[in-house]
């Protein structure tokens, strides 16, 4: 009988080792899959952070831009009050050159004026400050722009203030 026990021992030992090997493989796969998930999560986090940093850089100048826009508004307003006989004067040409430089700078920074005059009123980018009765105009069409609105890289930074038809 002692020989039978000895013969069964190696078989039991091999089966035990196979069982342990199977458990080790299962744990190994579990750890590997966990590592792969963590790696994917890290890569997604890294991509999201890069986008966030890119957005921060893209909109970092917004505060300065919002301070420059009123200056450009005043230049446009002053331009409307220039008498006809002075429009070809050298001083006015210089004034217009400064206006164009400022507008070009804003364009390079991703700033675009919102097109309003003659357009259908859009409450997402426009604020109606007055309704006017205008013959021949359908309702809710922009008749006059009171203050320009702007977007920065497609994002609204200031609404356009407009007068619309009734």
Question: Would you write out the chain's pLDDT as a tens digit for each of its 166 residues?
Answer: 445 555 567 778 888 899 999 999 999 999 999 999 999 999 999 999 999 998 888 788 888 899 999 999 999 999 989 999 988 889 899 989 999 999 999 999 899 999 999 899 999 999 999 999 888 888 899 999 999 999 999 999 999 999 999 8
| pLDDT the model gives residue 75 | 92
- Classify residue 58: in a domain, yes or no: no
- Classify residue 124: in a domain, yes or no: yes
- The CATH number of the domain holding residue 141 is 2.30.22.10
Cα dihedral angle (14, 17, 23, 25), rounded to 10 degrees?
-100
Residue 42 contacts residue 88 (beta carbons within 8 Å): no
Cα gap 43→133, rounded to integer Å: 58
- Classify residue 119: in a domain, yes or no: yes
- Classify residue 165: in a domain, yes or no: yes
- Classify residue 150: in a domain, yes or no: yes
Q: Within 10 A of 45 (CB to CB), how many other CB atoms are there?
A: 10
**pTM, rounded to two decimals:** 0.66
- Classify residue 164: in a domain, yes or no: yes
- Classify residue 44: in a domain, yes or no: no
- Classify residue 46: in a domain, yes or no: no
Give the domain range for residue 120: 112-166
Q: What are the tokens at 68?
A: 């420059």
In what order do the strands lie in the sheet containing 126-132? 126-132, 160-165, 142-147
**Total count of domains within the chain:** 1
């Amino acid at each position: 009988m002692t020989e039978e026990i000895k013969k069964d021992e190696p078989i039991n030992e091999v089966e035990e080792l196979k069982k342990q090997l199977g458990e080790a493989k299962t744990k190994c796969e579990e750890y590997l899959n966990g590592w792969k998930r963590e790696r994917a999560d890290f890569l997604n986090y890294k991509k999201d952070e890069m986008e966030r940093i890119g957005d921060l850089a893209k909109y970092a100048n917004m505060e300065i831009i919002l301070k420059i826009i009123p200056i450009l508004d005043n230049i446009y307003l002053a331009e409307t009050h220039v008498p006809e006989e002075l429009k070809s004067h050298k001083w006015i040409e210089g004034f217009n050159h400064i206006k164009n430089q400022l507008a070009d700078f804003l364009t390079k920074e991703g700033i675009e004026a919102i097109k309003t005059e003659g357009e259908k009123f859009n409450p997402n980018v426009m604020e109606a400050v007055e309704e006017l009765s205008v013959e021949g105009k359908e309702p809710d069409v922009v008749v006059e722009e009171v203050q320009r609105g702007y977007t920065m890289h497609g994002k609204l930074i200031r609404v356009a203030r407009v007068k619309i038809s009734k």
